[in-house]
Every structure is written in structure tokens, then in C-alpha cells.
Amino acid sequence: MANPSLALLQDLSSIENPKLIEWDWISDNFWEDIVPAIQGHIFLSFVSVALALAISLPTGVLVSRYRKAYPPVTFVTGLLYSIPSLALFGILISIPGITIGPTPVIIALVAYSLLILIRNTVAGLDAVPAETIDAARGMGLTERQILFRVELPLALPVIVAGIRIATVTIIGIATIGAYIAGGGLGKMIFDGINRSFPTMIITGAVLATVLAIVADLSLLGLERYLRPWARKRKT
């Protein structure tokens, strides 16, 4: 016997306990919402890592030459690194002239990468054996040539290791940037929480996690590829 009030009751209970994953929503919104969110997230992370590298590489080279500047540089970048991201976003959007949007998010993401990238650049340059540099000098290479042809290529695996850590960190923090309208996958998480719609929360969170792990593993692959001497020799 069909009982309309019972049917209504079931409907209500399904509203109260929505399914964890509604695959229909995912297929309906795949191209309009999900793909652009992934692209936005990659864009934010990529731009931030690129800008951070543009600052950190020259700074790292300079600091490895003028050793006295290294402790203050690590102090300042370390201080930036230890400020929780939501707090740094809050401080940035309080500055007059900076409004919510991708700009403060990118500034914060760059700030977070500096410590790791500068530290690894210096560590990589430090690990270049002195006799290698002497040999290069003996062959008549100028200081500039030594830097670009000997030191930086040898330091590259350590620098890439830094890029890897920075990228994974940045992909994670970029999700929080959605709170101040930075876009990306975090927006799906926040929208899902605000609408009490688990499908959106889970989709955003899982995709952000997958993105971070994929970036981590592929940069690890690059790091190993750049360190041919550490690979097993086939004999």
C-alpha cells in the first residue's frame, strides 16, 4: 500500500542525510566547474613557484657567496614560513590597496616558498666539491662560466628537491586561499561546506590531495633523473 506521508518522510530523511557522493553532480558539473577549478589551482601553484624561484635562485647564489647575509635571510624567511596561512592571508588583505582575490594568495604562496628554495639552493651550491671548481678554474673558465656550467648544474638535483617540497606545500596552502577568493579547488571545498553538500567537499578535497601527490611523485622522478650518478648502473 502506497503511503504518501511515508514517502514524504523518506524524502525528508534523504535531505537530512544527503548521500556522500552524488555521481550525477560530478558528471553534470565536470566541464563547467571541476576542470576549471583544477586548472585554476594548477595556475595559482605554478605562477607562485615560478615567481618564488625567480627570487630564490639569485638570492641563494648571492647568499652562498656573501655568507654573512645567510643567517638574517633564513631568519626572515623562516619567520614568514611559520606564520599560519589563514593569518598571513588576513594580514595581507588588511594592507590598504590589496583586495581579496588571487593577488594576496600568490604573494603568500611565494613568501612560503622562499625559505625552502633559498635553503636548498645554498645547500646544493655548498655540496659542489671544491676540487671540481678548482679544475674548472684551471681550465680557464670565468667565474660566471663556473657558476652556470659547473656549480648550478651540479646543484640542480638539490634545487629540484626544494622545488618539490615547495610545490607540494603550495598546492596545499592554495586550497585555503579560496577563502579570500583565490579560486581553485579550495573554492569547491568551501562552497560544499557552506551548502552542506558533501559531494563538493569530497571532490575538492580528493582532487587537491591527488594533485599534491601527483606533483610530489613527478618532481621526485625529475629529481632522480637529474641525479644520474645515484642511479644503478646497468653492467
Partner 1 sequence: MSGILDVFKRPDFFELLRQHILLSAAALLIGIAIALPVALAIRNTSLGAALAVNIGNIGRAVPSLAILALCQPFLGFGFDTALVALTALAIPPILINASTGLREVRRDIIDAARGMGHSGSQVLTRIQLPIAAPVIFAGIRTSAVQVVASATLATFIGGGGLGELIVEGTQLNDTTILLAGSFSVAVLAIITEVGFGALEKAMTPKGLKIAQKRGR
Tell me which residues touch partner 1 (CB under 8 A). Answer: 20, 79, 82-88, 90-91, 93-94, 168, 171-173, 175-176, 179-180, 186, 189-190, 192-193, 198, 201-202, 204-206, 208-209, 212-213, 216
Q: Which of residues 88 and 147 has its CB atom nearest to partner 1 in the complex?
A: 88
Determine the straight-line distance between the first and last CA of the chain, rounded to whole angstroms: 78
Please identify, using beta-carbon distances, which residue of 71 and 153 lies nearer to partner 1: 71
* Residue of 202, 219, 166, 208 lying closest to 26 (CA atoms): 202
Q: How far is the CB of 83 from partner 1 (least distance, A)?
A: 5
The residue among 39 and 196 lying less far from partner 1, judged by its C-beta, is 196
Compute the least distance from the CB of residue 127 to partner 1, in Å.
16
3-state SS assignment for residue 235:
coil
Strand boundaries in 89-215, DSSP class E: none
Instruction: Report the amino acid identity of residue 180.
Output: I
Nearest distance from C-beta of residue 150 to partner 1, angstroms: 26
Contact (Cβ atoms closer than 8 angstroms) between residue 61 and residue 121: yes
Of 70 and 190, CB closest to partner 1:
190
Query: Could you tell me how many residues make up the chain?
Result: 235
Long-range contacts of 187-193 (CB under 8 A, 24+ apart): 187/37, 187/40, 188/33, 188/34, 188/37
Q: Minimum Å distance from CB 43 to partner 1?
A: 17
Helix (H, G, I), strand (E, B) or coil at 50: helix
Cβ of residue 2: shortest distance to partner 1, in angstroms?
Answer: 32
